[in-house]
Amino acid sequence: MPDGPNIFSMLYQKMNWVNHQFTTVSENIENANVPGWDQRVLQPLSFQKTMDAHSSNPMITHENHLQGHKESQSYKIAKDKMRSSTLSGNSVVIEEELQKLNEASIKHAEMTKLYKKLTEILKLPLRP
C-alpha cells in the first residue's frame, strides 16, 4: 500500500466497517430473545485514526524491520451496558437494530457509488 492517504484504501476500510456493522446488528437481532444478551455496538470509524494509519511512516512487513505502523482491520465491538434491559436481561431493541441496518445499507450504497465514480474518473484518460 502506498504512503499517504489513499482514497481507495479508505473506501475499502469504510466498506469493511459497514460489513462489520451488518454482522454486529445481525447478531443483535438474532439474539434478541436470548436471556442475558447484551447489545453489541460497533465503535464508529474515526477520520483522525484513519489518517494516522496512513501516515508517512513505512508499514511493518517483518518484525526485524525498522519501526513503522501495522495495518489493523480490527474494529472494536463493545457491549452496551448502559441500556435498560427487559426482565430476561436482554437489552436489544429490534426497531433500533433495524434502523442501524438501514443506515448501514445506505452507507454501503454510498461507498459503492463513490467507488464507481472514482474508477470512472481514473478511466477518463484511457478513453479514445
Residue 118 lies in a domain: yes
Residue 97 lies in a domain: yes
**% of residues, the chain, pLDDT over 90:** 25
Residue 1 lies in a domain: no
Residue 90 lies in a domain: yes
Whole-number pLDDT of residue 83: 60
CA atoms of 10 and 108, how far apart (whole Å): 13
pLDDT at 99 over 90: yes
Residue 30 lies in a domain: yes
Instruction: Give me the phi and psi of 71, to 5 degrees please.
Output: -75, 130
**Which tens digit of pLDDT belongs to each residue from 34-91?**
888 888 888 887 766 666 665 555 566 666 665 554 555 556 666 665 566 666 677 7
1-15, 29-43, 65-79, 98-112: least confidently modelled range: 65-79
Backbone Cα Rg of the chain: 19
The domain containing residue 14 runs over which residues? 7-126
Count of domains for the chain: 1
Q: Are 67 and 57 in contact (CB under 8 A)?
A: yes
Confidence band (pLDDT; 50, 70, 90) for 98? very high
The model's pTM is 0.67
Residue 23 lies in a domain: yes
Residue 2 lies in a domain: no
Q: Are 106 and 99 in contact (CB under 8 A)?
A: no
Other CB atoms within 10 A of residue 106 CB: 11
